[in-house]
A and B are shown apart, each in its own frame.
Chain A
Amino acid sequence: MIAEQLRLEDGIYETIVKKNPVIKKKLTDPKKILAPIPGVINRVIHQSGTKINTGETILTLEAMKMECEITASISGRVKEIRVRPGEKVEKNQILAVLEEIDDDRKNG
């Protein structure tokens, strides 16, 4: 009746070995920086063209009376900033785009 098996100290038991359902996590494109919540852009800290490391704040967003730091998900360079301070943004709106720095070019 049940095909699955579980090995315990006393040998193999016939039983259902239930696996926890896998919750799918959709990872967004790390180069695109999206607004996590609707709000207003406070400050743009890194302008386009500047180098940036993972975790560094690119800009800040004010939402629900809180200042929310929007950070870089990868190390590289800010390719473009698509918003201005004071601008109202929607959820999931693209705020900035990052690019990886080509190592070869950097070395060469």
Chain B
Amino acid sequence: MKEKIEQLIQRRKSIAEGGGPAAIEKQKAAGKLTSRQRLELLLDKATFQEIGQHSKHHSTDLGLDKKEIPADAVVCGTGKINGRTVAVFSQDFTVIGGSLGKMHATKICRVMDLALENGWPFIGINDSGGARIQEGVNSLAGYGDIFYRNTLASGVIPQISVIVGPCAGGAVYSPALTDFVFMVEKISRMFITGPEVIKTVLGEEIGQLELGGGNIHNELSGNAHFLAGSEEECFANVRKLLSYLPSSSAEKPPLSDYEKPAAVDLTTIVPVEPKKPYDVRQVIQAIVDKDSFLEVQKYFATNIVVGFARLGGRSVGIVANQPKILAGVLDVDSSDKASRFVRFCDAFNIPLITLVDVPGYLPGVDQEHSGVIRHGAKLLYAYSEATVPKLTVILRKAYGGGYIAMCSKHLGADMVFAWPTAEIAVMGPQGAVNIIYKNELARSREPEKLRKQLTDEYVEKFASPYVAASYGYVDEIITPAETRQQLLTSLENLSQKKVWRKIFKKHGNMPL
């Protein structure tokens, strides 16, 4: 017995060493942590329970029969984050480049199945050179099996992908199917076809980080949601994000202790003149619990701000137009960004708070030809479909299609509030006057004088929340100082909201 136990301990020890000291040294030199160090950073202390560490590949082709692949290049198991169980995998780049073979994928699928059956969040730590070519189609099958489970688990358990190394080719699609992608500057890179193929086909030279580094996917492509300067910061962010989320769609998000936000006079932040900019994040911070705002996709489509926060200790999802950037217009990217966030919140019982200050959709050939029609439609779809409590505050302008799209009463908002500075209209005064009085203005001897007079009349009549309120499209007009309390009360009242859809359907056909 003693001998057998000794043998087990030896095996464990050798597996824990992954690719061995030389490979680990190389990993360090690349500025990266090892697969097991990463799990230590992610999970509560001493909570990791490994699953399948003795897995072995069974491939005999192309010299693989002579190759020892500890744990088949991936560490899998369960652990706890803030006391709640999660399922994890962490690819081991020191072992055959973290390449994905049949058993590697089988292990990942095993923890995914457990996560789905038991309602645990699922976190994948990606650091892999890609498919294990020697295992041929079994390697592709492995990817497919993971994608299938990602899809089944979507909307049931939160799924998070952490990219801390290469993630290329087919491997990128598992992260793409998950809810949130975390990347680290200088370490992470994701692409379908790498620089070498691009050079062959197009003759263009581009570095891996320029093509698919953390900055690119956080700023430009929108494939990633969080960017960190180091792995430590990245894993701390994952833990923080999970604190806002329920473990599965069957639960409500956890309640948290909270402090009131610092007292700020909102009237000093938001200028009355609708064409003047301000940073809407200051408004968010003045309304939600102190230090509770966690921005999602902070660097992508910055003309809209989305993120998690707490109000009275309850998790909420915030969507807000950002007048500081591109006047807060809706366009292709901001519609995509907000829609996906709204759908995530709805799937996981997180109430939505929408702060509106929008001049409409961005005009332009580029936008029209990029399909702003179908992208813009996503936002209408996502809000209409959402059944969580939906609270809307119209801060200033809410013009045209932008007004409708930003969780208006018409898309099922439970409560719509408006500040006295709100202007709810088909379009802004200047645009409206130019269209309605086109002929009069053309005939006038003093067109500028007439334009001013007509604009003033329009502003007087329509640039307020009172017309919309008279039809019940705005439930209540509130002062900026009353905003937090009104939202708190509404959230409490709506905490048991249930919507019964009467028509059975498999699923809708969202514009994609």
A12 to B431, CA, bound (A): 11
CB within 8 A of B326: which of A6, A9, A68?
A6
CB-based contact B133/A64 at 8 Å: yes
* CB nearest neighbor in A for B206: A25
CB within 8 A of B200: which of A1, A10, A37?
A37
- B210 interface residue per 8 A CB criterion: yes
* CB nearest neighbor in A for B362: A8
Contact with A along B351-370 (1 / 0, CB 8 A): 00000000110110000000
Chain B residues near A26: list those with CB within 8 A: 204-206
A70 to B201, CA, bound (A): 9
- B427 interface residue per 8 A CB criterion: yes
Number of contacting residues on B, CB 8 A? 36
* CB nearest neighbor in B for A64: B133
Contact with B along A39-67 (1 / 0, CB 8 A): 00000000000000000000000001100
CB-based contact A10/B199 at 8 Å: no
CB-based contact A27/B325 at 8 Å: no
Within 8 A of B (CB), among A1-35: 1-2, 6, 8-18, 20-21, 23-28, 30
- B429 interface residue per 8 A CB criterion: yes
CB-based contact A14/B275 at 8 Å: yes
CB within 8 A of A27: which of B204, B329, B429?
B204
- A75 interface residue per 8 A CB criterion: no
CB within 8 A of B276: which of A14, A16, A17, A25?
A14
A9 to B327, CA, bound (A): 12
Contact with A along B483-512 (1 / 0, CB 8 A): 000000000000000000000000000000
CB-based contact A9/B428 at 8 Å: yes
A20 to B52, CA, bound (A): 45
Chain A's interface size range is 20 to 34
A16 to B399, CA, bound (A): 20
- B117 interface residue per 8 A CB criterion: no
* CB nearest neighbor in A for B273: A14
A13 to B328, CA, bound (A): 10
- B56 interface residue per 8 A CB criterion: no
CB distance from A38 to the nearest CB of B (A): 9
Chain A residues near B197: list those with CB within 8 A: 36
CB within 8 A of B220: which of A12, A21, A27?
A21
A1 to B326, CA, bound (A): 15
A36 and B324 contact, Cβ closer than 8 Å, known pairs A8-B363, A11-B431, A25-B204: no
- Top 9 nearest A-B pairs (CB, nearest first) are A10-B428, A13-B327, A9-B431, A36-B200, A10-B431, A15-B327, A26-B205, A11-B430, A36-B199
B residues with CB within 8 A of A: 133, 196-197, 199-200, 203-206, 210, 216, 219-220, 275-277, 302-303, 323-329, 359-360, 362-363, 399, 427-432
* 9 chain-A/chain-B pairs, Cβ below 8 angstroms: A10-B432, A13-B359, A15-B277, A18-B302, A18-B303, A18-B326, A20-B220, A28-B205, A68-B200
